[in-house]
Structure 1
């Protein structure tokens, strides 16, 4: 597995995922997934446990976006650069989407941002799956270029 092509593919998937989330939450505020809110809640919980100062709203949003992109890029980079990157991308995306619906509640982040309505749940799974598919497609394209 080549690390740079895998990271590039992961970054592509993460950027597409973030663009989808940010665009749809502005177009459909009543039922769009709000993974940004989950990220901000997680950030604030971590800072509180560390007795660190809480950032303002804009700074928290910025830090959350950077963390989301970096974390999702690393996750999607697991598609690798081998012959089955597209299949792995699909499965990784699907797993992340299901996790995005199921895990926030038990983690103490609240379930509404990703599971408020059936449409919210479906969009959460779909957006993460799209990110994985994009990561897999980019990995495949980069592999063909070598």
Structure 2
């Protein structure tokens, strides 16, 4: 299998894992990170800057999830398909999680969705670490598959 395809598939797997966990846990745990809200705020801010009116919240939420899957998929594809995919995935995931806690406030998106409690912070880092590990694991598995 082509290394670019392997990287893309593993990146998408990591992104889908992060999104699935996030969307599931937020429905049951009040201190869960709300990365979807950060995405909605970022989209709204960008649209207003461009002189456009943001869509309603349901559509904005969908756009946020699609944007998260695309951007996280591209990010996690950096895990690659080589022998050190697990290691790169864990580093990329941890870095994304720390960024998810530290960066929203300075970016003007508000800190509360990912930084309001210690549990929220830990879950934010944990979600993105999980995504990196899934991307690394899928990359390693795809490397072993003879297609």
Matches within 5 A, 1:13-92: 13-28=14-29, 30-92=30-92
Secondary structure in 2 aligned to 1:26?
coil
SS in 1 for 2:26: helix
Q: CA RMSD in A?
A: 0.8
Runs of 4+ in 1 over 2 A off after TM superposition: none
Any unmatched runs of 5+ in structure 2? Answer: none
Instruction: Tell me the alpha carbon deviations over residues 28-77 of structure 1, each in whole angstroms, 9 at most, x when there is no partner.
Output: 0x200000000000000000000012111111011111000000000000
**TM-score when scaled to structure 1?**
0.98
Q: Deviations over 1:109-143 (max 9, x none)?
A: 00000000000000000000000000000000000
User: How far apart in 1 are the matches of 2:54 and 2:33?
Assistant: 24
Question: What is the aligned residue count?
Answer: 145
Q: TM-score by structure 2 length?
A: 0.97
For structure 1, the residue ranges without an aligned partner over 5 or more in a row are: none
Displacement of 1:2? 1.2
